[in-house]
Amino acid sequence: MKLPWTILFIVSQGSQIFLPAMARNTITSPSVKAQMAVISTSSVDVSSSSTAPLTPTQSPQLSTPNESKSNNPITQLFGYVRDSCVRLKDGTCQLYTDHKKCNVIRSKQRAHIKIQMSSMTEEQRKKTKKYYPTAGGISYEEFVFLQNGREDRSKLANIAFMMAFAPNFVPYAFMFFPEMLPSPFTNMSNSSQQNGISAKLDLLSRERCHAVISSLIDLEREARIAPALSNVNPFGKGKIRKNMERADSIGAIGAALLSAPSNSLSTSDSAIITSPSNEILNRSKQEASMVFDVLKDKLYTKQATEKNEQSLAFIPKSIMRGVGKAIDAPSFNNFLPTFLVRGRVLNHIKKISDADQFIIEQGIDTTTISDQLLADACENRLIGGLRRTNEELREGLDCWLDMVVKKPEKIARDKGMHFNANLARFALLGYHAVDAARDSRASSYLPRILFQGKQ
C-alpha cells in the first residue's frame, strides 16, 4: 500500500489542494455565510448615512467557488484522492505524448543522416554514426524539445528506481527536491507560474549573487589556508602551494570583475545595442579573455586533453560548488559532496555543448530564435540577469558561441592545438555569474555595496 500513496503525494505536490479546499469549504459553511451576510448588511447601512447606497456592481462580493462541495473531511479526502488521480493521469498522458513527439523528431534526424550518408564514401560511412543528438534536419525549437524530453526520461528512471528500492523516502525527496519531477507534472498550474514569474526571477538573481559572494569568500580561504591534511604528505607541498596560487589568482580576477563598473545599459545607450562592435560588448569579451588568460595553459595544449582535465578535477572546490549553486539556484543542496556537484555541472556543460554544436553546425541565426527560447538558452549559460533586454541576451549568446566554438576551432585548425571545451564553458559560466552579480538591475544589492560602493 505504500506505492499508490507515494504516487499520489508526488502528483499532488503536498497540501496545495487539500488545505485550500478546506479553507474554501469552511468559508462556504452556512454559519459563516450568515455571519458574512450580517457584516455586509451592516457595512451597507453605515455607508448609506453619509454617501449614496452601493449599487449591485459596487457591493463587495466574496469569491465562493465550489459551492456544492461539502465541508465533510471524508468527502474532502476523497476529493483530494480524485484530484491526485486526475493529475497523475494528465501528467502521464502528457509525458507519453511528449515521448511520441520526440520519436518523430528523432526520425527526422535519422532521415537527414541517411541523406548525408548517401553522398559519402564507404570509409566515411563506417565512421559516421547512425544517430547522434546534434544531427540536423530539425529546427532549434525541436532540438530543445528533444533535450527536455531526454531530461524527463532520466528523471522518470530515477523516480522508478527510488520507488523500487526506497519508497519511504520518495515523499521527502520530492518535498525537498521538487525539480526531480518531470516537466509534465511540474507545469500543471500554468496560471500560478505566470503570476509568480517575476518573483521567481527575482529569487534566482538574488541566490546567484549570494553564490558569487560566498564562493569568493571560500576561495580566499583556500588561497590563504593550507588544507588540514597537508602535513600528512610531505611530498605534496609543492602541488598544494601551486593550487593555492591558482586559487589566489582566480579570486583576484573575480574581485576585479566585481569592482569594475557593470555592463548594464541605460535607456540612453539603447541606440548602440544593435552595433556589433559597441563598447559594452568589447568590454565583456576583454573581461572574459582575462579569465581565459588565467587558464590558458589548461585551455590550449599540444597534447590531447587528459581525462583529469576534461572532468575539471583540478578546479578549486569553492569555485566548483559556487558554479553548481548558480546553475541549480534556488534549490541547490548544500549537503551534496563536491564530486556529485562536479558530476551535475559536467552534465549541464554537456547539455550546453550539444546546443552550441547544433547552433553552429546547422547555421542557425540567433536573431531567428524566439524570445522564450533565447531567454532559456541564456539562463542555462548564466548569461544576463534580471530585466535584461533581448538585444543584450542575443549579443551575450553570440559572444559565447564565438569564444567557445568559432575561435577555438580556428586556432585548432591553424596551430594544431587541442582545446579543453569543458573548462572554457565552465570559466564562462563563472564569469557570467559574476557579471550578473555586479549588474545594477540585480536583485541583491550586497555585491554593489561591498565592491562598488555608490558607483
Res 451 pLDDT > 60? yes
pLDDT recorded at residue 314: 83
List of residues 6+ apart from 423 with CB closer than 8 A: 295, 298, 299, 309, 312
pLDDT, averaged across the chain: 76
Res 265 pLDDT > 50? no
Residue for grid cell 555608490 = 454
- What does the CA dihedral 383, 387, 389, 390 come to, rounded to 10 degrees? 60
**How many whole angstroms separate alpha carbon 256 and alpha carbon 287?**
10
> Mind listing the pLDDT tens digit for each residue in 49-107?
333 333 333 434 444 444 445 678 888 888 888 888 888 888 889 999 999 999 999 99
Let me know: does 372 contact 427? Beta carbons within 8 Å. Answer: no
pLDDT recorded at residue 48: 37
Res 178 pLDDT > 80? no
pLDDT recorded at residue 75: 85
> Mind listing the pLDDT tens digit for each residue in 108-143?
999 999 998 888 888 888 888 888 889 989 999 999
**How many whole angstroms separate alpha carbon 343 and alpha carbon 79?**
42
**How many whole angstroms separate alpha carbon 252 and alpha carbon 134?**
38
Q: Does the global pTM surpass 0.85?
A: no
**How many whole angstroms separate alpha carbon 403 and alpha carbon 401?**
6
Per-residue pLDDT band at 33 (split at 50, 70, 90): very low
pLDDT recorded at residue 417: 87
Per-residue pLDDT band at 435 (split at 50, 70, 90): confident
